[in-house]
Amino acid sequence: MKLICFTALSALPVLAVPRDRGEWRAPKEGDVRAPCPMLNTLANHGYLPRNGKGISKAIAVEALSTAINWDFSVVSPLYDFAQPTNPDPNATTIDLNHLTTHNILEHDGSLSRQDTFFGPADVFHVDTWKETLSYFTTPNIDVGQAARARTARVVTSASTNPSFTFPQIGSYFDYGETAAYQFVFGTWNLDADDIKDKISTPLELVKYFFEFERLPFEIGWKRPQNRLTFDILVNFVIETQGLTLGQMNGTIP
Ligand code: HEM
Ligand SMILES: *[C@@H]1O[C@H](CO)[C@@H](O)[C@H](O)[C@H]1NC(C)=O
Ligand SMILES: *[C@@H]1O[C@H](CO)[C@@H](O)[C@H](O)[C@H]1NC(C)=O
Ligand SMILES: [Mg+2]
């Protein structure tokens, strides 16, 4: 397994790593950003190009591996979904603002962004985020709270946005995004019997990340020790979908 990963990585072109990598800096005039708080964060720290432009698969794979221990098996398919957001059909890179195109990957019912119908879907929006936060009622979020927050945002959008849409790919990404922040900021306990106990995520890390688009090193976060693979992510998403159905039909408290 190690050998396979090593081979995949060494096949990538050598990437120049800028000197100021790691340091957080706000985006400058002309820099572009995404509706994704993590890609924005990694650009703000210089793991991705600070201007948000010209991101190839090789750059994305290296950045997410270095900064948050995400495996090629998960970043490669994610990148492949993102490539068509570049309006140039022959392009092999993306700019972060390409990801904002509605209903390719960007979808309604986001946790911290408005629906396109109401306003810009790329930038952080405090009232939307407050609704999400209202479901996080303990210092550590369990998977049940994270699932309810996701459901609530979709239900609110579906009932207030006359142009609400939720294509299947958007829905799948939506569950993936709720999984993603838990995997990056939470403590994994994937052998737990109850899905609700599989990750426990400090609320203050999640708030800091969403609100500042910055890695929360100064309040104690460290790069995850466990490497996130595609199988781990997909299994967690499938289990969260089951949990969500159970919460909605009242069989899971
Ligand atoms: C190549 C990798 C990635 C791509 C192409 C990508 C793309 C996107 C896009 C297009 C959205 C907007 C969806 C929407 O809310 O309308 C999004 C949201 C999101 N992404 Fe990423 N993302 C990537 C990696 C990550 C990683 C590694 C994390 C880890 C924390 C992450 C966490 C999130 C979260 C939490 C949201 C939801 C934001 C919200 O609902 O307000 N993403 N991503
Ligand atoms: C994309 O590549 C094809 C094949 O090389 C070419 O015919 C086409 O004009 C290119 N399209 C653009 C927009 O560059
Ligand atoms: C409720 O949802 C759960 C999880 O999907 C399912 O196993 C169960 O059969 C459902 N129960 C009812 C009464 O619909
Ligand atoms: Mg959205």
List C-alpha distances in Å: 163 to 117, 151, 152, 156, 157.
7, 18, 17, 13, 9
Q: Which of 239, 245, 248 to mutate to test the pocket of ligand 3 (most atoms within 8 A of CB)?
A: 245
Q: What is the pLDDT of residues 188-206, one digit of tens each?
A: 999 999 999 999 999 999 9
Give mean pLDDT, residues 126-146. 98
Give mean pLDDT, residues 102-129. 98
DSSP assignment, residue 70? B
Q: What is the pTM of this model?
A: 0.94
Quote the CATH superfamily of domain 2-6+33-249: Chloroperoxidase-like (1.10.489.10)
CA within 13 Å, CB half, 94: 22
SS3 143: helix
User: Among 106, 96, 186, 110, which Cα is nearest to 141's?
Assistant: 186
Q: Provide residues with CB under 6 Å of ligand 2.
A: 88-90
Q: Is the CB of 107 under 6 A from ligand 1?
A: yes
What ranges do the domains of the chain cover? 2-6+33-249
CA 64/CA 47 separation, integer angstroms: 8
CA 221/CA 234 separation, integer angstroms: 24
What spacing in Å lies between the alpha carbon of 110 and ligand 4's midpoint? 4
Residue 3 has pLDDT above 70, yes or no: no
Q: What is the pLDDT of residues 163-174, one digit of tens each?
A: 999 999 889 999
> What pLDDT, on a 0 to 100 scale, did the predictor assign at position 13?
56
Helices (H), 29-91: 37-44, 57-68, 72-82
Residue 10 has pLDDT above 80, yes or no: no
Mean pLDDT of the chain: 94
**Looking at ligand 3, which atom is closest to the CA of residue 249?**
1
Concatenate the DSSP letters of all residues of 128-140 into one string: HHHHHHTT--SSE
